[in-house]
Amino acid sequence: MPATIMETPTARTWGQSVDSARHPVARRTADVLRSRSATPNVFIIDDEENIAQAVESGILLDSIHATHSAVRRDPRLLGDVDPAVPRFVISDSVARDLFGDQKQARVFAIARAPRPWSLDELARRPGDIVILDGVQLVGNIGAIARTACALGAAGLILLESGLRTPLDRRLIRASRGLVFATPLVVATRVQCAAFLARERITIAALTADAAQPLHTIRTVEERLALVLGGERHGISADLEAVTDHRYAIPMSSNVESLNVSVAAGIALYEHLSRHRTQ
């Protein structure tokens, strides 16, 4: 008779099997998935890569969950995570019910929310600050968080993004877990403008109709707040009003604008290039 999952030595580290939506573990997962809190105590991280990235960034895990089919495929999954973290195997049908019309995860963790970053903490970090003014597509925000982390930015400020918390499942996925390694603050436009004035941070708006070509950003020695606008309406009048510089990335005349995450990556890289001798 072939060995079942629960009989193999490695799979034995996987604890209770959750075969009913009424199981306390399933109920807790459902509660966490349903939460709309802006300051949740716990949150969900999908997929092995994102869980591993979160752990590397110091996030504490409450529990790890995987469907029967995921464990069957790889009983050793997340083998590097602290064995003291409880593991549960969830039946595939319970997992389907739990996630409903949200994206279903084969592997996920319930993690403890880290203390949120403040604007003042962002100011004390080196590097440019990326301000997303009305950027609403979570895929774009996640891609920018990943690029900001890769290019050594201080962090991101989200204005009118529609996200209540940086601990949003979709954002964690879109950033490949790098949202934990990149300070991200959700703020209002008023809070953001007051913060930039208080800290005397030079503000540079990225906008396709600016007169200054982006390469001239290399002459700005100090750190910048780089403001990028939303997918539909661009930068708001409130932020435009407090801008010190405006830069455009030159494009072919038949293109109206770049994707905001592409523009953010080019701008961050260009300003970083001021430190390059050639």
Ligand X SMILES: C[S@@+](CC[C@H](N)C(=O)[O-])C[C@H]1O[C@@H](n2cnc3c(N)ncnc32)[C@H](O)[C@@H]1O
Enumerate binding residues for ligand X (CB under 6 A): 206-208, 228-229, 231, 233-235, 248-249, 251, 257-258, 260, 263
What are 90's strand-pairing partners? Answer: 18, 67
- Cα-Cα-Cα-Cα dihedral sign, residues 195, 200, 202, 205: positive
Angle of CA points 39, 187, 239, to nearest 5°: 165
55 vs 144, beta carbon nearer ligand X: 144
110 vs 225, beta carbon nearer ligand X: 225
**Least distance from C-beta 188 to ligand X, angstroms?**
19
CA 115 to the chain's CA centroid: 15
187 vs 206, beta carbon nearer ligand X: 206
Q: Give 240's contacts (C-beta < 8 A, 6+ positions apart).
A: 205
104 vs 136, beta carbon nearer ligand X: 136
Helix (H, G, I), strand (E, B) or coil at 176: coil
In this structure, the strands spanning 107-112 and 61-67 are antiparallel
Residue 181's nearest CA partner among 152, 158, 201 is 152
95 vs 206, beta carbon nearer ligand X: 206
Strands in 99-252 per DSSP E: 107-112, 129-133, 155-159, 184-187, 202-206, 212-213, 224-229, 245-248
